[in-house]
Chain A
Amino acid sequence: MQELKQTIYATLRTIIEDLELGVSEIHDEDTFVEDLGLKSLDLARMVAMLELKLGVDPFAELVSITSIRTVGDLHAAYAQCFTSPAGGTDSSSGQPAAPAAKTDSRANQQDLNKGLRRGI
């Protein structure tokens, strides 16, 4: 799990450096919008980068994006992919693993928009 956390932090650092946000330290309790200054598309980029690295996307089926406000929340979402017997969407098998709370992309987008208003 420590390795997973390192991967998430390293990816986040890459994004922060690309955006030249001037954030020197990242903490689990940091919120993406208020503390780190990320936009929704930056978060989408991070999820894409993590899917390419880890082979899973917890937001495809398993976890609602609305539950993600902080770096710690994001780590917990990915941890769920690897601890849940069902897992997330596995890129190697391609099988959605668990019943989705919200599988409709429009619903996810609405969630993301709501999340942004709440400070994701």
Chain B
Amino acid sequence: MDHKNDVIIISGGSRGLGQTLVSTFLAQGYTVATFSRSATPFIEQCQARDPQREKFCWEAVDVIDLERVKQFALSVFRRYGRIDALVNNAGIGVDGLFTLMRSEDIHRGIAVNLESAIKLTQTCLKCMLEQQRGAIVNITSVNGLRGHSGVSVYSATKAALDGMTRSLAREVGPKGIRINSVAPGYFDSEMTSDFTDGQKTQIARRTPLQRLGKSEEIASVVRFLVSPEASFVTGQIIAVDGGYSC
């Protein structure tokens, strides 16, 4: 499939799943625009390969600065003349016993995981409405689908994004714009890096496929949902969790 003219924005593309998403879509021929608070060696490599920003651009943007998030999306539209797809990937883990959580941590979790995704979606949708086509994927979590102790606020932000996915799919479907969620289960990432071997073994035991996932397995579903192969799929929450939530 030729995607040489397609432009995709991926929030939080400097590391983890975001890095895998950026690599996946660049390999598919997309023009990829991403942002994060600071550059990583991965970002610097991508920039070195494309100093003219023909197929890759990155900017330093703190995702909680909503005006900067909006301006980033508009600058991508001005530079490349279109925005075909958006992946709301940026997010942070918010964990701890609910009654002991600090207000500051709760507010930051909501700002990063939810508010910034809403702002970025709103801005990109304006471009997609003009084009009358587009695809959006929200990276949510199985925590938004099932209850798990210690992640109430995180679950709330992810379930809220799933709600946005469903409602927005109905709202903008008539204009040819699709929106879906990918809800990863436990996979090798920063969020699971501090899990003990015992915790990982326990997760694997509770997972029908008997292991944690890989970021590439999440990215391949996102790639499918963005592509024309998923042209009749919208408003869906796709769990990619080895069967953990089934």
Contact = CB atoms under 8 A, between A and B. Distances in A.
Interface string B56-77: 0000000000010011001001
A114 interface: no
A91 B75 CA distance: 10
Contact of A41 (B126, B127, B171): B171
Interface stretch (A25-33, A46-54, A70-78, A79-87): A46-54
B130 A52 contact: yes
Contacts of A51: 126
Interface residues of B, number: 15
B126 A48 contact: yes
B47 interface: no
Nearest to A39: B174
Given A48-B125, A52-B126, A52-B130, A41 B77 contact: no
A45 B176 CA distance: 12
A49 B175 CA distance: 14
B132 A18 contact: yes
A94 B68 CA distance: 9
Contact of A45 (B70, B71, B130): B130
A91 B74 contact: yes
A49 B174 CA distance: 17
A44 B175 CA distance: 11
A94 B172 CA distance: 25
Interface string A4-36: 000000000000001000000000000000000
Nearest to B77: A52
Overall SS of chain B's interface = helix
B130 A48 contact: yes
B70 A41 contact: no
B175 A45 contact: yes
Interface string B125-143: 1110110100000000000
Contact of A94 (B71, B125, B126, B132): B71
Interface in A77-114: 91, 94
Contacts of B129: 44-45, 48-49
B99 to A, nearest CB: 30
A102 B70 CA distance: 21
A69 B171 CA distance: 22
Nearest to B172: A41
A15 to B, nearest CB: 10
Interface string B93-133: 00000000000000000000000000000000111011010
B71 to A, nearest CB: 6
Contacts of B67: 94
Interface of A: 18, 41, 44-45, 48-49, 51-52, 91, 94
Interface of B: 67, 70-71, 74, 77, 125-127, 129-130, 132, 171-172, 174-175
Across chains A and B, which 8 residue pairs bring their CB atoms closest together, nearest first?
A48-B126, A94-B67, A45-B129, A48-B129, A49-B130, A48-B130, A41-B174, A91-B74
Given A48-B126, A94-B67, 4 more contacts: A45-B129, A45-B132, A52-B130, A91-B71
27 contacts: A18-B132, A41-B172, A41-B174, A41-B175, A44-B129, A45-B129, A45-B130, A45-B132, A45-B175, A48-B125, A48-B126, A48-B129, A48-B130, A49-B129, A49-B130, A51-B126, A52-B74, A52-B77, A52-B126, A52-B127, A52-B130, A91-B70, A91-B71, A91-B74, A94-B67, A94-B70, A94-B71
